[in-house]
């Protein structure tokens, strides 16, 4: 890429940005971040801190026959016992009336079943070492057959798997996987550096926004975007800016397009990384009387030229939101310039 005159370059404007810790930051696109947590998710195009969304567990209805607790799915009762899944005759809720075999075995190993629940017309069944599918589990004939084990869909505990929109999600030591009825896909393949935020977590659903909530540390939306949370703390890191030939280039200033609907006074605290080292934090004062949406620049005095440049926000006061982050640099072609 040929060197160009100093111009404003977009570092970040697609918010909230999905997490990708494992790809080189120089290869990331706008809308992806190598390191972020505590992002607000409900306002597209705006960056600001927020708590993790609240999820709810799946709804189940149970009946007790004798001392055994059964779960009501597809107009019949089902019950786990060891490596077997028992099923009652359709519509019977007070007595156990066997139909056909009356049970299915999942005995590739001796591990007990941990959970089962419907997805579409099928039943998902799991143990710690894998997951299974019973196709057409809504049939009242009762001639059920189950498919082979899917080892990456294991769930050590009942709350480590859940259904949303006809897909099954499972969180185990390997990460979070989704089964769409045809194949399994790992959703956490690009966040191995922070896999603990998503692996072996309790899964719930934020029903209003159709998101999978992973304990108190992770969120996955219906498109597969990932977001991390660490208590109430906040950080957002941009992708890394480079010159095409990896030669050193100057960065003279950074800019923020600020959205301040309540016109509050506050600050944005950020750092920039010049190659490998993050410099001391810089505080940008935000004045409420400046208007609701406005551009604000911050010169970077005496910053040496670098081959890579990144910015990360460490703190934003409540009420302040960012629409975009730019840099005044000499690294890219004119068509990538940042509109002021």
Tens-place pLDDT, residues 95-116: 999 999 999 999 999 999 999 9
At 160, phi and psi to the nearest 5? -90, 5
DSSP character string of 274-301: ETTEE---EEEEE-GGG-SEEEEEEE-T
DSSP character string of 174-218: TEEEEE-SS-EEES-TT-GGGGGGTTT--EEEETTTTEEEETTTE
CA atoms in the 13 A half-sphere facing the CB of 290: 16
pTM: 0.93
Q: Could you tell me the domains of the chain? A: 7-47+233-336 (2.60.120), 62-223 (no CATH)
User: For the chain, how long is the longest CA-to-CA vector?
Assistant: 82
As beta bridge partners, residue 237 has 312
Q: Residue 16: is the preceding peptide bond cis (ω within 30°)?
A: yes
List the pLDDT tens digit at each of the 340 positions of the chain.
444 678 999 999 999 999 999 999 999 999 999 999 999 999 999 999 999 999 999 899 999 999 999 999 999 999 999 999 999 999 999 999 999 999 999 999 999 999 999 999 999 999 999 999 999 999 999 999 999 999 999 999 999 999 999 999 999 999 999 999 999 999 999 999 999 999 999 999 999 999 999 999 999 999 999 999 999 999 999 999 998 777 889 999 999 999 999 899 999 999 999 887 899 999 999 988 777 888 999 999 888 888 899 999 999 999 999 999 999 998 654 344 343 3
DSSP at 21: S
Q: In 217-286, where do the E strands start and end? A: 218-221, 226-228, 235-237, 241-242, 251-259, 266-274, 277-278, 282-286
């Amino acid at each position: 890429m040929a060197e160009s005159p100093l111009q404003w370059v977009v570092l970040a404007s697609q918010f909230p940005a999905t997490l990708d810790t494992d790809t080189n930051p120089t290869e990331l696109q706008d809308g992806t971040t190598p390191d972020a947590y505590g992002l607000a998710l409900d306002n597209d195009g705006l960056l600001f801190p927020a708590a993790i969304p609240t999820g709810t567990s799946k709804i189940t209805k149970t009946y007790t026959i004798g001392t055994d607790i059964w779960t009501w799915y597809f107009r019949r009762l089902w019950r786990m016992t060891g490596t077997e899944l028992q099923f009652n005759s359709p519509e019977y809720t007070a007595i156990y009336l066997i139909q056909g075999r009356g049970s299915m075995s999942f005995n590739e190993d001796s591990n007990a079943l941990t959970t089962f629940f419907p997805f579409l017309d099928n039943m998902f069944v799991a143990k710690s070492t894998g997951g299974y599918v019973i196709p057409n589990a809504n049939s009242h004939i009762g001639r059920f057959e189950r498919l082979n084990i899917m080892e990456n869909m294991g769930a050590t505990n009942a709350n480590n798997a859940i259904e949303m929109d006809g897909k099954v999600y499972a969180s185990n030591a390997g990460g979070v996987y989704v089964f769409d009825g045809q194949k399994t896909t790992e959703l956490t393949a690009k966040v191995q550096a922070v896999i603990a935020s998503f692996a072996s977590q309790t899964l719930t659903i934020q029903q209003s926004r159709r998101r999978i909530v992973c304990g108190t540390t992770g969120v996955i939306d219906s498109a597969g975007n990932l977001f991390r949370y660490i208590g109430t703390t906040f950080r957002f890191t941009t992708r890394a800016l480079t010159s095409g030939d990896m030669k050193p280039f100057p960065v003279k200033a950074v800019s923020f397009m600020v959205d301040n609907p309540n016109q509050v006074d506050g600050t944005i605290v950020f750092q920039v990384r010049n190659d490998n080292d993050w410099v001391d934090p810089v505080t940008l004062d935000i004045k409420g009387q400046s208007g609701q949406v406005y551009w604000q620049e911050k010169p970077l005095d005496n910053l040496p030229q670098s081959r890579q440049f990144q910015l990360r926000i460490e703190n934003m006061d409540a009420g302040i939101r960012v629409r975009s982050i730019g840099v005044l640099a000499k690294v890219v072609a004119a068509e990538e310039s940042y509109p002021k």
